[in-house]
Structure 1
């Protein structure tokens, strides 16, 4: 349920719609009792928001006549940055809120902008298109994400309930070193009490989070994003792939999608690339994209898949 501060803002939003709102209606919409509504009204009055109390059969609360919230004072460049950030962030899968929340935030922002600027931004959003497809995104609990961020800022351990990929639930204490967004998902990386190792956890799989007493230090030079990519490259999938590639390790690594493979130079001038795959469909494209000679070491099924694909390509080119 929303916190009291969020409900007070929701109450103000309702009153801005105009008219006199009966206490019972406000209580129902805010999912609180009428006494709590009156307390929220007092909060608004303390914030110098002029709320009138209307007595009688059709009484209730309303904003004082002529009162308007001041327009949001953003420059054109700032407004474009905020709105396009919401839209693009949602498409890229890095905005944790649902589509409904993003649309609601966008609508509220448009409503309080000066009319000239709002009209120009609406023209931009209505006519803008994107070449990249919408990336599917998970939606971690906002409160969980914020609690983990609070613990990370204060260098305090956080106790979490976690549901693993296989569906098994566990309780553990984590020292959160960093929070990383990757491929439409949010992760927290840090020292894990259950395994004694530095691990990465998907935030949408954290069922609860609570700060614990104590303190920790982040290891000097620790890079949460780099560690996450290493973790993802080690994630066990159905097929274990090992390929020898002619070239230098840095050049080969730069041609691979981030987070899918471990790259190590060998003594004979080749580079060994190891990664894991659940299905074969995307693997040939990755190997061809290396633009270098390669030899599949394992598994044999991948060699068979590449031969079959090569024959199809030759037949199609005739």
Structure 2
């Protein structure tokens, strides 16, 4: 490729990255003078690429908003980054329209990859394991996702038609504070104007979204991600669990994250019994310098309890079950099973 043509394509790539590029910046990046930059811009205009001239002290050149370039020029590393992002989104459920858009986009990029790069990408994807399995998630409608995102950005109310987990439909006006991707699903959190309270909604359960006139102010406080996690921990579920665990917040959060449990430090709760059935006193766990670790009240809301005994065992910290008694029975049964299997070994 002759050098002038190569520089024209480099100019196109620089403009494609977005924003306004000054004459001085373009001349420096291309290694030419300002007059030559203007000639290269004329070449792009001859090819019907809409390059706009921006006047003023910080003026220069930019592409017209919304223009779609026919060739998408990506280096090998850029192509790998895009394909890995598409694949990660597909495997973890963070895509829209049942993965169709991500799959077709990946196929288009793969078709133009050099063979050696495609082989290396295939080897990488065959070697990568994802903790979330594909195909388990409900994906939001792309248009609804973009409508809600625009409402978040401009602090405008949005009317939604929503179906909750009991299949009950409703129409709501939402002051959306932010969109959160968590555990393979998309959520929007904000203030439900009809009831005057903060709520979190799954985006895949929103059947329609329409931006309304007006605006609102986002209140100070936790960010959208923290609001969603706190909402998970305090939502209404079948079982309400209360524990006292002796350890640090960091230790407990390794097994019971913010989306699962709320923690509250207790002023005086040491030397407690593990459970009435244990029949022996619990020794205080010592932290650094021999100082006993604090006791924290842990509250969990859950549909099922059978997952909690192995979690408590994995924590390996002193704990007391306050409620429900059913959990105490499950923990004792779990301990008996472990002891029985250990004796068999």
Q: TM-score, structure 1 length as denominator?
A: 0.73
> 1:174-209: CA deviations, max 9, x gaps?
111000011111100111112211111110111110
How much has 1:300 moved relative to structure 2?
0.4
- The answer on whether the counterparts of 1:163 and 1:170 sit within 8 Å (CA) in structure 2 is yes
5 Å-filtered alignment, 1:217-228, equals 217-228=217-228
Determine the structure 2 residue equivalent to 1:291. 316
Counterpart contact for 1:253–1:263, Cα < 8 Å: no
Unaligned runs of 5+ in 2: 1-46, 50-68, 269-293
C-alpha deviations, 1:78-120, integer Å up to 9, x for none? 1111101111121122223423333222111112344554454
Match of 1:55 in 2: none
Paired residue for 2:337, among 283, 294, 312?
312
* Shift of residue 122, structure 1, vs aligned partner: 4.0
User: What is the CA deviation profile of residues 217-268 of structure 1, one whole-angstrom value per residue up to 9, with x for unaligned ones?
Assistant: 1123441000100101112221111111112345423442340011101111
1:302 and 2:327 correspond: yes
Structure 2 match to 1:76: 76
User: In the alignment, what sits opposite 2:304?
Assistant: 279
Counterparts of 1:131 and 1:230, CA distance in 2? 26
User: What is the 5 A alignment of 1:28-47?
Assistant: none
The range that moved more, 181-190 or 73-82, is 73-82
Please tell me whether the aligned partners of residues 188 and 203 of structure 1 are also in contact (alpha carbons under 8 angstroms).
yes
CA contact (8 A) 1:158 1:175 kept: yes
Q: Distance in 1 between matches of 2:70 and 2:266?
A: 65
Which position in structure 1 is the counterpart of 2:199?
199
Q: Which residue of 1 aligns with 2:129?
A: 130
The number of residue pairs the alignment matches comes to 252
Instruction: Flag structure 1 segments of 5+ consecutive residues without an equivalent.
Output: 1-46, 50-68
Change (3 A) 1:253 1:115: closer
CA contact (8 A) 1:148 1:158 kept: yes
Partner of 1:157: 157
- In 1: Cα distance, 2:106 partner to 2:339 partner: 51
Q: CA deviation at 1:211?
A: 0.4
CA gap of 1:248–1:285, structure 2 versus 1, over 3 A, is same
Is 1:187 matched with 2:165?
A: no
Corresponding residue for residue 99 of structure 2: 99
Closer/same/farther in 2, CA of residues 122 and 48 from structure 1, 3 Å limit? farther
Three-state SS of the structure 2 residue aligned to 1:229 is helix
Matched, 1:213 2:208: no
The DSSP-based 3-state class of the residue aligned with 2:194 is coil
State the distance in 2 between where 1:84 and 1:162 align: 33
- Residue deviations 1:265-300 (CA, integer Å, cap 9, x gap): 111142110102212231112212322100111000
How far apart are the structure 2 equivalents of 1:131 and 1:161?
33
User: Is the contact made by 1:189 and 1:199 (CA closer than 8 Å) also made in structure 2?
Assistant: yes
Q: Would the aligned equivalents of 1:72 and 1:114 in 2 still touch at CA under 8 Å?
A: no
Cα distance in 2 for residues equivalent to 1:192 and 1:121? 45
Counterpart check, 1:144 vs 2:169: no
